[in-house]
Amino acid sequence: MSPSRLDFYFDFMSPFAYLAFQKLPAICQRHGLELVPHAVNLPKLKLLAGNTAPPNVSLPLKIRYLSKDLERWATLYGVPLVFPKSLASERLNKAFFFAQDRGQGEAFIREAWDRVWGRGVDPADPALLGELAGLFGWAADELNAWVNSADAGERYESETRAAHEAGVFGTPTMIVGDQMWWGNDRLAFMETALEKGL
């Protein structure tokens, strides 16, 4: 039986996950797959995998290269890419679950990333959640209460550990059936496999 879903593991802090998301909905549509997003704690996920290397932003040579590489990808995809003031994505990741439970997860990802990596809005800016709540017709107080709740923290932890148990060690990661691809630059390989029926 052919797989029916594509599991997409992301963290709003990841620009490469932002880029991958520009293509994933169309890929899923072409291959009759349901896009199932999972918000994870990327720094925690790396530690669970034994990756204790410093973050890219603390490595001047690497971030200089990655900045140029991201610019190339954004140009190729025809999308904006602006580095935000911070990469403090925890509250936005938790807010995704609120959207997901209301059947608006994919739209929330699109709008949140449009602001964070498309316009450079700080994901930790308290005004961002208020703006997104208004866009989706939610009560801002209710969204903030969820983000600050123990339930949100437990779900975030659970999703991250489940991702680790599935073999995920970074973002973006895409899983279809028993096949996994890590990185925006693996989308072409993934689609070739899908065309061949995996």
Domain count for the chain: 1
Q: What does the alpha-carbon distance between residue 114 and residue 102 come to, in Å, rounded to a whole number?
A: 20
Residue segments in the chain with a per-residue pLDDT below the cut of 50? none
How much is the pLDDT for 1?
63
Please tell me what DSSP assigns to residue 29.
Answer: H
Q: What does the alpha-carbon distance between residue 147 and residue 152 come to, in Å, rounded to a whole number?
A: 6
14 is known as an active-site residue: yes
| Token output for 124 | 């930790």
Q: What is the CATH number of the domain that holds 9?
A: 3.40.30.10
To the nearest 10 degrees (0 to 180), the angle between helices 15-31 and 60-77 is 30
| Token output for 190 | 């993934």
The catalytic residue among 4, 14, 67, 158 is 14
pTM for this structure? 0.95
Residue 37's domain comprises 5-195
How much is the pLDDT for 59?
76
How buried is 77 (Cβ within 10 angstroms: 0-12 exposed, 13-18 middle, 19+ buried)? middle
How does pLDDT run across 171-192, given as a tens digit for each residue? Answer: 999 999 999 999 999 999 999 9
